[in-house]
Amino acid sequence: MHRILYFTGTGNCLRVAGLLKEKFGDDTDLLRVCSETAGAEKEEISGTLGIVYPVYSGNMPIMLKTFLDELSVDPQTYVYAVAVHGGMPGRTSVYMESVFQQKQMKLAASFQIRLPHNGILLFDAEPEARQKLWLSGLPARILEISDAVKEEMLVAGGSSFPSLKKMAELGLKIPKGFAPPNVQTAPNTLFDPALREKDFWTDDRCSGCGICVKVCPAANIQIREGKPEWLGHCENCVACFQWCPEQSIQYKEETKERRRYHNPDVELKEILI
């Protein structure tokens, strides 16, 4: 059995997981890590296990880390991970290795895929031409990864975090006292997503449609008096920002002029929970 776990907000990881499944065939099962599956009883996984995950502020989503901690995996399972990032892969591969070391297992292979970023809280979306460039290279990268997995190759990960200069070139606003996160600390230590959400709000375009509720993988939004209300356990995926049909969800005053992005090959109905 081949199972691929994935966490997605704006569709990049869903697209990667779906393309990998096409390469591996009908024996491959996709499982989305979200509020509905996080608390469910988890059967032991054996055979081949893939983990496709986004990189948020240099780390993996908190929900995914918790899910993996609770997961039972047969020691003989071939485990590989695919970090999908927008230019800042961070140290997630090193951290992922530590997750399986705690299970007395080895992460056999660690891959990275560069796709358009969705970090609207920090900077504007990439120009459309650059987005198309990253997306056009995806099929070849999928083939490369699938071939390696079929051969059960050992592929080392690594540590990669941009310099302060590189972050400035990307348009990142560097927080006071910033230092690259330590791999031993919990995910999302660079920015605490729960602290950020207190500055989420909606402008006058909000219709109260509730799409933000339905796309949130953490079940962190409810509609109250016709407007979204965040409940304190944000994962920093910004699906609510990116899929809002009116582009009405904002962070402080910083996102009002920023363009939105979600994967163009993924439809809204595929993201709804």
pLDDT tens digits for range 114-165:
999 999 998 899 999 999 999 999 999 999 999 999 999 999 875 444 555 5
Q: What is the DSSP string of 172-226?
A: --PPTT--PPPTTSPTT-SS-HHHHGGGEEE-TT-----HHHHH-TT--EEEETT
Residue 269 makes CB contacts below 8 A (sequence gap 6+) with none
What pLDDT, on a 0 to 100 scale, did the predictor assign at position 58?
80
Measure the CA–CA gap between 167 and 105, rounded to whole angstroms. Answer: 34
CA triplet 108, 110, 111: central angle to 5 degrees?
A: 145
Stretches in the chain below the pLDDT threshold 50: 159-161, 175-190
Kindly state the DSSP code that residue 121 receives in the 8-state scheme: T
What pLDDT, on a 0 to 100 scale, did the predictor assign at position 93?
86
What pLDDT, on a 0 to 100 scale, did the predictor assign at position 147?
97
Helix (H, G, I), strand (E, B) or coil at 27: coil
pLDDT tens digits for range 91-115:
888 889 989 999 999 899 999 999 9
What pLDDT, on a 0 to 100 scale, did the predictor assign at position 92?
84
What pLDDT, on a 0 to 100 scale, did the predictor assign at position 185?
44
What pLDDT, on a 0 to 100 scale, did the predictor assign at position 191?
54
What pLDDT, on a 0 to 100 scale, did the predictor assign at position 120?
94
| Cβ–Cβ < 8 Å for 217, 235 | yes
